[in-house]
Amino acid sequence: MTKGIFPLDQFSGLRTPFYFYDTDLLRKTLQIVKTESEKYNFHVHYAIKANANDRILSIINSYGLGVDCVSGGEIEAAMAAGFSADKIVYAGVGKSDWEIELALDANIQCFNVESIAELEVINSIACSKNKTAKIALRVNPEVDAKTHHYITTGLKENKFGVSMELLDKVLDRAISLSNIELIGLHFHVGSQITDLSVFNDVCTRINIVLKMVEKKGVSIQIINVGGGLGINYQDPNGDPIPDFARYFKIFNENLQVKEGQEVHFEPGRSIVCQCGSLITRVLYIKEGVNKNFCIVDAGMTELIRPALYQAYHLIENISSDEIAEKYEVVGPICESSDCFGKDVELNKAHRGNFIAMRSAGAYGQIMASQYNCRTLPAAYYSEDFK
Ligand code: LLP
């Protein structure tokens, strides 16, 4: 028996909780990303922070994307999955010396640099290795992403990027350093952006910065516009693939790109989110005062987004067709925040039913922890169940 995309019969022998990935959907999404970005000769680097599962990475690699990393561990994971180093960009406000060394030794494509202090350290490490580090300066464009404050990065108060006021000074320093080659500018204003007009604002700001930099006589080869395209958490079945056509078109129409300049993108969530679900079993239905708790065997350890960002995930009882009832769906972790949703309508739930937490392919498995001495969740793939 299958329920939607889920091969329920084959789930029955599996220990829960686990991640289930719809690899057909992942491939369809990647094909659209490829087709739509190639229309404009745009380059796409997958933001590996969203999901670094090796099977998922090797599928993404097979579509020819590059990777956006934020740690030495991510660079290692990308290379282990077969991505070539010249398609790896490395960002982050706090790069350690060993991570910079690793990136230089691997000859990655570009460091996205966020401060003068970091420029100087990269320069001296590159100097000691007799290498030149290619860098893009991350500019904080002060554009409001209109998303959750924890995942907003492009405002003055955020730790990310070089503020517009300091840009001139940082550019001067970058140009003056012997083992630094400034090749690009990098921008990223936030994540889960569903109001696409934000990207029009991003383009307007980037155009202003490009003019300013040009005036200084600095030539820019790469314009990296970051990631952030949001997905539909409310309706993963009806709207499984974000509107990449419209997204890339906005940049094509609004960004003033000069001959020879490349435009780079760093989508994470929009590529992998809808293909992943966290599958869990109902342990107990517990009667409370004025509500019933549906206690499942997955917790914030396997999917932390509801606890951390008050994020909504569609929750479905995929084992039952009985009339829906309301539950507070909670996990077994000893924290009150270990709650997946209040007033969740589920087909009447019984012990042993499978529950699917949808849209969990991004920032799900990768953010899992072992708190309470839990085992990290396993992953299964639809293509293995055929
Ligand atoms: N580029 C940079 C510089 C970033 O900081 C991020 C995400 C991305 C690209 C990818 O953004 P995406 O396309 O996935 O929106 N854990 C949070 C999301 C944190 C995002 C951090 N930066 C969540 O679960 O919502």
Q: Do 238 and 96 share a domain, yes or no?
A: yes
Distance between CA 383 and CA 386 in Å, rounded? Answer: 6
pLDDT tens digits, residue range 284-340? 999 999 999 999 999 999 999 999 999 999 999 999 999 999 999 999 999 999 999
> Ligand 1 pocket test: which of 110, 269, 270, 309 has the largest number of ligand atoms within 8 Å of its C-beta?
269
Protein residue whose Cα sits closest to atom 19 of ligand 1: 151
Q: Do 148 and 73 share a domain, yes or no?
A: yes
Helix (H) or strand (E) holding 77: helix 72-80
Structural domain count, the chain: 2
> Ligand 1 pocket test: which of 44, 185, 191, 313 has the largest number of ligand atoms within 8 Å of its C-beta?
191
Q: Do 69 and 183 share a domain, yes or no?
A: yes
Q: Final residue of a domain: which of 244, 271, 298? A: 271
- Provide mean pLDDT across the span 99-109: 98
Quote the mean pLDDT of the chain: 95
290 occurs within a structural domain: yes
2 occurs within a structural domain: no
Q: Final residue of a domain: which of 206, 237, 271? A: 271
Q: Do 84 and 35 share a domain, yes or no?
A: yes
Q: Do 194 and 225 share a domain, yes or no?
A: yes
Ligand 1 within 6 A of 242 CB? no
342 occurs within a structural domain: yes
* pLDDT-based confidence at residue 151 (cuts at 50, 70, 90): low
3 occurs within a structural domain: no
Q: 332: cis peptide before it, omega within 30°?
A: no
Q: Residue 142: its pLDDT value, please?
A: 81
The angle that helices 116-128 and 167-176 make with each other, rounded to 10 degrees, is 10
pLDDT tens digits, residue range 166-201? 999 999 999 999 999 999 999 998 999 999 999 999
Ligand 1 within 6 A of 226 CB? yes
Ligand 1 within 6 A of 68 CB? yes
The DSSP-derived string for 221-254 is -EEE----B---SS-TTT--S--HHHHHHHHHHH
* Residue span of the structural domain in which 31 resides: 23-271
Instruction: Return the ∠ at Cα 135 (arms to 134 and 139), rounded to 5°.
Output: 165
Q: Do 262 and 283 share a domain, yes or no?
A: no
Q: Do 74 and 154 share a domain, yes or no?
A: yes
Cβ atoms 112, 161 nearer than 8 A: no
Instruction: Return the ∠ at Cα 31 (arms to 27 and 33), rounded to 5°.
Output: 115
**Nearest in space to 224 (alpha carbons), one of 273, 254, 267, 276:** 267
1 occurs within a structural domain: no
Q: Residue 137: its pLDDT value, please?
A: 96
Ligand 1 within 6 A of 92 CB? no
Distance between CA 328 and CA 262 in Å, rounded? Answer: 49
Q: Name the more confident of 161 and 369.
A: 369
Q: Name the more confident of 3 and 223.
A: 223
Output the domain CATH number for residue 192. 3.20.20.10
Output the domain CATH number for residue 321. 2.40.37.10
The angle that helices 116-128 and 97-106 make with each other, rounded to 10 degrees, is 60
Q: Do 205 and 289 share a domain, yes or no?
A: no
Q: Do 13 and 150 share a domain, yes or no?
A: no
Q: Final residue of a domain: which of 271, 305, 336? A: 271
Q: Do 138 and 281 share a domain, yes or no?
A: no
The 3-state secondary structure of 323-373, one letter per residue: CEEEEEEECCCCCCCCEEEEEEEEECCCCCCEEEECCCCCCCHHHCCCHHH
Q: Do 284 and 351 share a domain, yes or no?
A: yes
